[in-house]
Amino acid sequence: MSETRQLPAPVPEVNPETEPFWAATARGELLVKQCAECASVIWYPRALCPDCGSLRTRWQPVSGRGRVYSYTVNHRGEGPYRDCGPYVLAYVELDDGPRLMTNIVGAGDSADVVGELAVGLPVEVVFHDTGEGSALPRFRPRAN
């Protein structure tokens, strides 16, 4: 049996606007922003509401549950992903609204999940520690 393939967890670029998001991932918590003026859920994390322009936005924890909206199987990655194909790049639509670009991983957080994939597949967030005070939110299949 071959060893379990894992995806690398490269350190993200953190700036003052996204620091609370990444700090939360290190605690195993997924945050999104919500606009205090128009109630839009904002993704990706940023200071300004893209719908109404308000700067009155606040962080909200979300469940981390959602469904695969779209996906592709990458056979040849770049940079730290160069030798880890095939792996899954996907949009996950959270139950709370926004769609995140992410990876889908399998049992034991392995990269081997291709056979389970389908649009609409129920998934839940898992966090892959970067070792630098942040973790990458990825998703794995879940029972309904």
55 belongs to the binding site for Zn ion (CB under 5 A): no
Residue in the block written with tokens 């967030």: 125
Cβ neighbour number for residue 129 with a 10 Å cutoff: 13
Residue 19 or 51 having the CB closest to Zn ion: 51
Q: Which is nearer to Zn ion, 35 or 94 (CB)?
A: 35
β-strand partners of 41: 34
Are residues 104 and 115 in contact, defined by beta-carbon separation less than 8 angstroms? no
Residue 130 contacts by C-beta under 8 Å, 6 or more apart in sequence? 9, 10, 11, 12, 136
Instruction: From 4-12, 38-46, 95-103, 129-137, give the range in contact with Zn ion by CB under 5 A.
Output: 38-46
Report the residue from 35, 88, 90, 121 that binds Zn ion according to the rule CB under 5 A: 35
Q: Note if the bond before 69 is cis, omega within 30 degrees.
A: no
Does residue 18 belong to the site contacting Zn ion (CB under 5 A)?
no
36 binds Zn ion (CB under 5 A): no
- 38 is a contact residue toward Zn ion (CB under 5 A): yes
Kindly state whether residue 37 participates in binding Zn ion, applying the rule CB under 5 A: yes
Binding residues for Zn ion, rule: CB under 5 A, are 35, 37-38, 40, 49, 51-52, 54
